[in-house]
Amino acid sequence: MDVYTQGKGHARKPIAKRAKKKNALIALIVQFSRSGIALPLALFAAATLIFGTLLWLLEGRNAGGSFQRPFDGLWWALVTIATVGYGDSYPLSDAGRAAAMLLMVSGLIITSLVSGTVASLFVERRIREGKGLQDIKIKGHTLLCGWNAHADTLLDAIEAEGTAHALILINSLHAEGFETIKAKHPELELRFVRGDYTQEAILRKGSIGQASNCILIPDSSGEFSETNADERTILAALAIKDLARDLRIRAGILKPESEQHLRRAGVEDIVIHGEFTGYLLSSSSGDGGLPDAARELMSAASPSRLRRAPMPSALIGKPFSEAAAWFLGNKKSVLVGLLAKEKPVTLEDILSNDSGAIDAFIKRKFEEAAIDISEGLGQAGRVRLAPDPNYLIGSSDVAFVVGGDA
C-alpha cells in the first residue's frame, strides 16, 4: 500500500512542477511591474508601434519610398528612438517628416527615462546589497552565519589558505560594520545579508540552496549576545538542514552540552570554545612549550600549520609507513594521520548475494517507489592520527600533514 501511495505521489510531481513554474512566472511578472522599468519600456514599445505604423500609412503610397511594408515603419521607428540613425529609411512627405520630428523629440525623452531607470535600479541594488537587504544570487559559495570578536581570525585563516571563493556573511551588523570587515580582508570576495540567520527567509537571501559550505559561529552581533548563542546555532543548523540537507555545516559553540544537539541536527564538524585550554595550561609545567607548539599547528599564518592534503593515487593500497615516507621525501611535510571515509550503506549491502525471487521483488519495489536508503547519508569520515604503520591507504582517504609544500 505504501509503494502505491508513493507511486501516486510521484505521478503528481509533473503537475506540482507546472504549478510551481506558473507561480514563479507570476511572481516574476509582479516583480517586473513593481521595478519601475515597466512603464518606460511600455512607452518605448508604444512609440515604436504607433510611429512605425503612422509612417507606413503616410509614406507607403510613395512609389520607391522606404516604407513599403509595415515592418519598414517599425524598423525606422526603433532605429530613430534608439538614436542609431542608419539613414537607410527616411520620410519624403512633409507629414511624414513632421511625424519624424515629433518621434525624435519624444524618443530622446523615452530613452532618457529607460537609461535613467535602469541605472537607478543598479544603484539601488548595490545600495541594498551593501546594507544586507538584497537577495544574493550566487552558487558554490560559503555562508558564514554569526559574528563575534574572534570572527576576524576566521576570515584571516580563510584568506591565508588562498583558496577562498565567494563568502556571504549573515548577521545583524550594520552596513558600516560590514564595510569595515570588507576593508580588512581585500583578498576575499565578501557579500552581506543582514538579519537573523535562524530564519529561513534570511537564509534564502544568501542562496542557501546553492551554497557549498556553511560555518556557524557564536553570534553577538546587533541585539544578540553570547548568552543564548548556542541555542541560536542549533536552530540555524536545523533550518539549514531543512533547506539544504546535503550542505556540510561546521559549527563553533560555547557550551559542551550543545554538541549532542548539533550532532542530532547533522552537524559533523564541531569546535567547542576553550575545549583544550585546560589541557594546554596543565601540560605547560616543566620545560613547557606545548602551547607554543599548538599555536604553530593551528595558526593560519604559520608555515608549519596542520592542513589537509589530497592523497596521491599512487599511494592507494600502500601502507601508512610508505605514504609517510613519500610525503616527507616529495612534499617536505610530515604525514600525521588521515581522514578515512567510509562507503555509505546501499540496498545491495543489505540484500543477500544470490538472485532469489524475494530479493528481486524487494529491489524492484524500492526502485518503483524511487527510494534510496543511502540518500542523505553521505560519506562518514573517521579521523585516524598516527595509525598503525601497516594501515593500508583507502581510495577516499585524505591526508593530514604538517608543514611542507602545499
CA atoms within 13 A on the CB side of 37: 15
Between 150 and 14, whose confidence is greater? Answer: 150
CATH superfamily of 142-275: NAD(P)-binding Rossmann-like Domain (3.40.50.720)
Cell 557549498 sits at which residue?
Answer: 212
CATH number of 38-130: 1.10.287.70
Q: Judge residue 259's burial from the number of C-beta atoms within 10 Å of its C-beta, 0-12 exposed, 13-18 middle, 19 or more buried.
A: middle
Question: Looking at 23-27, 122-126, 193-197, 327-331, which range is the least confident one?
Answer: 23-27
Q: What letter would DSSP give residue 131?
A: T
**For the segment 219-258, what is each residue's pLDDT rounded down to a tens digit?**
998 888 888 999 999 999 999 999 998 899 999 999 999 9
Q: What is the H or E stretch that residue 129 is in?
A: helix 94-130
Q: What is the H or E stretch that residue 117 is in?
A: helix 94-130
| 381-386 mean pLDDT | 81
Separation in Å, CA 229 to CA 203, 220, 225: 17, 7, 7
Going by their DSSP bridges, the two strands 269-272 and 248-253 should be labelled as: parallel
Measured at the CA of 61, the angle between CA 59 and CA 63, to 5 degrees, comes to: 100
Buried b (16+ CB within 10 A) or exposed e, 66-91: bbeeeebbbbbbbbbbeeeeeeebbb
378, 344 Cβ separation under 8 angstroms = yes
CATH number of 303-402: 3.30.70
Q: What is the pLDDT of residue 326?
A: 94
DSSP string, 264-295: HTT--EEEETTTTHHHHHHTTSTT--HHHHHH
Q: What is the H or E stretch that residue 103 is in?
A: helix 94-130
C-alpha 205/C-alpha 207 separation (Å) is 6
Residue 202 in this model has a pLDDT that exceeds 60: yes
**For the segment 45-101, what is each residue's pLDDT rounded down to a tens digit?**
888 899 889 888 888 777 677 788 888 888 888 888 877 767 777 788 888 888 888
